[in-house]
A and B are shown apart, each in its own frame.
Chain A
Amino acid sequence: MIDVPSFAELNLEVALPGIFLALFTTVLLIVDLFIPKDRKITTAHLTIGALVVAFVLNLPAFNAGETAMNEMFIADAFAGFVNMIVITGAIITVLLSVDYMKRSGIEHGEFYSLLLFSVSGIMFMGSANDLIVVFIALELLSIPLYVMAALRHDDVKSEESGIKYFILGAFASAFFVYGAALIYGATGTTNLPEIFRAIAGADGIVATENSAMIYLVIGAAMVIVALGFKVAAVPFHMWTPDVYEGAPTPVTAFMSVGAKAGGFAGLLRVMIIGLPLLVVNFGDAVETMAIGETITVPSAWQTALWLIAAATMIFGNFIAISQTNVKRMLAYSSIAHAGYILMAVAAVGTVQITKVAENDYTMVAVYAESALNGALVYLLAYTFTNLGAFAVVMSLENNDGSGTMLDDFNGLSKRHPLTAAMMAFFMLSLIGVPTTAGFIGKFLIFDAAIQAGLIPLTIIGVLTSAVSAYYYVRIIVNMYLKDAAVTDEAVGLTPYVNYATIVAFAGTLIFGLFPMLALDLLASSGAQIATLLF
């Protein structure tokens, strides 16, 4: 009745980077027991080694376009790119953690295992080709993060951030599976390309009279709600500032880029591969079309994402202005940046319908490719920039967690000129000034949104970017134009943190000056998705 595939048919080598990392982490948990307490730095070195190996293993998997485990898992350029983003981010996070964990007295070997589990979850998310895998990956990336947020267990704030993140994360997961169950009920499959085919229908157009439509619409809505929680989109962002402020800073740094990359990878997979052609209420428009005519309609979820993206950009940027704690300001800025990426996701939902012959239509999500490129390059730029900004915040942070207020940046350019210069560059990249990676990301996303006809949304995006300049530039002003009241030493400015800052700076600069590096890597992913669509 059920075919059990042979081991060779599972095609596991395609999933090798993620599988290697997950297995290595399991071993690392045991190895760590034999490493004496005062030499936990060995665990950190092993972790970095494993991440480098996973990075190398990822290179051949890139562009393979092959599926594994009965088409539940796919290794394409999208997956390879997400893997690269998250592995680089994790390496920087480990560099940031080494000294921080020690000086704040929470050095545990388990931290690195938890980090690696979360990383492998994000890697599986990037390669997910099935709703079940999306769900497992979502949990694999979230559950370690709940623990990591609460890691500073002598600090009530950290505990509080852990329990808040846990309750809201579990709540969001339940929404995700409920939505996935409804999509499964409507289409009879959990495989994303098959969901796509079931929605598009044999003749290329959805049967609007189908009662399954209501399941699909509710299902898509619940999936958007759940992943909106994970990427911290307004109005599902309530946990973000509290969790980001309370969690240990390296964990916050990883959460703000890793969990976000994972959430967006899942959202893009489900929306671009599974549900791009979910269109309702176009019956009248289609009936009056002449043969050969083409019309553009929004898919059922585009308006929802449009509103969420606009609210996220406006809310995130305006609340960030009033923050005096830089960690909390970066939390709100991370909410705002989720809004820009959501703009790209919304751009996917513009669908072109062409009437080929009588009762014969084709539907194509024409802007999926440019939107995908924009979202991924933005995530890459954001990863480098934000980790760099957090690295600088961490180097100023005292052992008890204080020292992250805006005034603590006063006169930094005199005390630590290099760090101040790099921080200024990160801030410019977060605004989106040319020559920084942030500019390239914003440019590609605005470009995709304009192509897709989301002009008002693009205007909101540009205006809120201008607003964001206020609070980012304020840090630069504090660093360069104000004198420090206190001249205490930046205790966190250790060699490891310096390496991390320089790596982040190099990434921000290189991808800002040579954006083609990233776009070339992505060139074939668009092609693969386009073949799927046609």
Chain B
Amino acid sequence: MVPLWMFLTVAAALFVIGAYGVLARRNAVAVLMSVELMLNAVNINLVAFWRFSDPVASVSGQAFAAFIFVVAAAEAAVGLAIIISVYRSRYSVVVDDVDMLKW
């Protein structure tokens, strides 16, 4: 069987790639995709931890993963709506162009 550490490594790699995407991508839609990648990395973690703990005792790992799907969908819906609203006024979804406010 595939050991736990392999799952955790894949999840950590996905999470880091997602975090890099959020910080480095300039397109807001790509940033949103990167956030989804981070959340899915967590899902891998949760399900792997659930599988390798006592599977019958508690399903909270799976339940948590299911909740993350739902919340990720809600977040994507709101995020895309805001991005479209920004696009309508500026004809751009590049994050660097959204820079009116600065200290």
Our verdict on whether A and B bind, yes or no, reads yes
| Chain A residues with a Cβ under 8 A of chain B | 1-2, 130-132, 135-136, 139, 143, 146-147, 150, 153-154, 156-157, 159-164, 166-167, 170-171, 173-174, 177-178, 180-182, 184-185, 188-191, 241-242, 245-246, 319, 328
Contact with A along B19-53 (1 / 0, CB 8 A): 10010000010011001001101100110110001
Q: Which 7 A-B pairs have the closest CB atoms?
A: A174-B38, A185-B49, A242-B101, A181-B45, A190-B60, A177-B42, A170-B35
A sample of 8 more A-B contacts (CB under 8 A), given A147-B81, A180-B64, A319-B103, is A135-B64, A143-B75, A154-B89, A163-B28, A164-B98, A167-B31, A181-B42, A185-B49
- 8 Å CB contact of B61 from A161, A174, A184, A245: A184
The minimal Cβ–Cβ distance linking B21 to chain A, given in whole angstroms, is: 10
A163 and B64 contact, CB distance less than 8 A: no
A154 contacts across to B, CB distance below 8 A: 89
What is the predominant secondary structure among interface residues of chain A facing chain B?
helix
B18 and A188 contact, CB distance less than 8 A: no
The minimal Cβ–Cβ distance linking B1 to chain A, given in whole angstroms, is: 17
A163 contacts across to B, CB distance below 8 A: 28, 82-83, 86, 95, 98
The total of interchain contacts (Cβ-Cβ below 8 angstroms) comes to 132
Interface: B68 (CB within 8 A): yes
B49 and A166 contact, CB distance less than 8 A: no
A139 and B78 contact, CB distance less than 8 A: no
Within 8 A of A (CB), among B43-86: 45-46, 48-49, 53-54, 56-61, 63-64, 67-68, 71, 74-75, 78-79, 81-83, 85-86
B15 contacts across to A, CB distance below 8 A: 174, 178
- 8 Å CB contact of A161 from B54, B56, B101: B101
B41 contacts across to A, CB distance below 8 A: 178
B78 and A166 contact, CB distance less than 8 A: yes
Nearest chain-A residue to B55 (Cβ)? A1
B74 contacts across to A, CB distance below 8 A: 139, 143
A167 contacts across to B, CB distance below 8 A: 22, 28, 31-32, 35, 79, 95
Interface: B2 (CB within 8 A): no
| Chain B residues with a Cβ under 8 A of chain A | 15, 18-19, 22, 28, 31-32, 35, 38-39, 41-42, 45-46, 48-49, 53-54, 56-61, 63-64, 67-68, 71, 74-75, 78-79, 81-83, 85-86, 89-90, 95, 98-103
Bound-state CA distance A92–B59 (Å) is 41
Nearest chain-A residue to B47 (Cβ)? A181
Bound-state CA distance A181–B53 (Å) is 13
Bound-state CA distance A146–B42 (Å) is 23
Bound-state CA distance A143–B103 (Å) is 25
Bound-state CA distance A170–B35 (Å) is 7
A156 and B89 contact, CB distance less than 8 A: yes
The minimal Cβ–Cβ distance linking A241 to chain B, given in whole angstroms, is: 6
A162 contacts across to B, CB distance below 8 A: 82, 85-86
Contact flag A184-B60 (CB < 8 Å), given A132-B67, A178-B41:
yes
Interface centre among A135, A178, A242 (most CB of B within 10 A): A178
Contact flag A159-B89 (CB < 8 Å), given A143-B78, A190-B64:
yes
Bound-state CA distance A150–B86 (Å) is 9
Bound-state CA distance A143–B31 (Å) is 17
A131 and B82 contact, CB distance less than 8 A: no
A1 contacts across to B, CB distance below 8 A: 56
Bound-state CA distance A147–B80 (Å) is 11
The minimal Cβ–Cβ distance linking A240 to chain B, given in whole angstroms, is: 10
B78 contacts across to A, CB distance below 8 A: 143, 146-147, 166
List 22 contacting pairs A-B, 8 Å CB cutoff, sorted by A: A2-B59, A130-B60, A131-B64, A132-B60, A136-B67, A143-B78, A146-B82, A153-B89, A160-B98, A162-B82, A163-B86, A164-B101, A166-B79, A167-B31, A173-B39, A174-B19, A174-B39, A178-B42, A181-B45, A182-B45, A184-B61, A189-B58
Bound-state CA distance A528–B5 (Å) is 39
B85 contacts across to A, CB distance below 8 A: 150, 153, 159, 162
Nearest chain-B residue to A218 (Cβ)? B12
Nearest chain-B residue to A142 (Cβ)? B75
- 8 Å CB contact of A188 from B48, B54, B98, B102: B54
B71 and A135 contact, CB distance less than 8 A: yes
B79 contacts across to A, CB distance below 8 A: 146, 166-167, 170
- 8 Å CB contact of B102 from A146, A159, A242: A242
Interface centre among B32, B45, B82, B98 (most CB of A within 10 A): B82
Bound-state CA distance A188–B103 (Å) is 45
Nearest chain-B residue to A245 (Cβ)? B101
The minimal Cβ–Cβ distance linking B48 to chain A, given in whole angstroms, is: 8
